[in-house]
């Protein structure tokens, strides 16, 4: 799976605003409000990948419990799916 379009991020301190750009951006209405880890997930999804690969990358980077990271990744991916932002 991967993102249907690219996003440019604006760091607002406690949150990140992701704005759709490029091919497919006209199909996205609005912006995404995320934290920095949510933005990392979107950046990983710029290339075709799996949920397991995302979890593995974030688990190797952060000290959090793998189950906590996995739950967060699944939540973000489901949010992106429900907004039709991911190509499966």
pLDDT band at 84 (very low <50, low <70, confident <90, very high): confident
Confidence of residue 22 (pLDDT cuts 50, 70, 90): confident
Q: Provide the percentage of residues in the chain whose pLDDT is more than 70.
A: 100
For the chain, which residues make up each domain, given as ranges? 2-87
Total count of residues recorded for the chain: 88
Residues in contact with 21: Cβ distance below 8 Å, sequence separation at least 6, in sequence order: 5, 6, 7, 8
Q: Which tens digit of pLDDT belongs to each residue from 23-59?
A: 777 877 788 899 999 999 999 999 999 999 999 999 9
pLDDT band (50, 70, 90) for residue 80: very high
If one counts every other C-beta atom within 10 angstroms of the C-beta of residue 43, the result is 14
């Amino acid at each position: 799976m991967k993102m249907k379009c690219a996003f440019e991020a604006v760091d607002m301190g406690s949150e990140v605003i992701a704005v759709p750009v490029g091919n497919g951006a006209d199909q996205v209405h609005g912006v995404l409000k995320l934290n920095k880890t949510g933005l990392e997930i979107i950046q990983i999804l710029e290339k075709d990948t799996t949920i397991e690969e995302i979890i593995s990358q974030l688990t190797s980077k952060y000290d959090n419990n793998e189950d906590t990271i996995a739950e967060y990744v699944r939540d973000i991916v489901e949010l992106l799916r429900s907004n039709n932002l991911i190509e499966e």
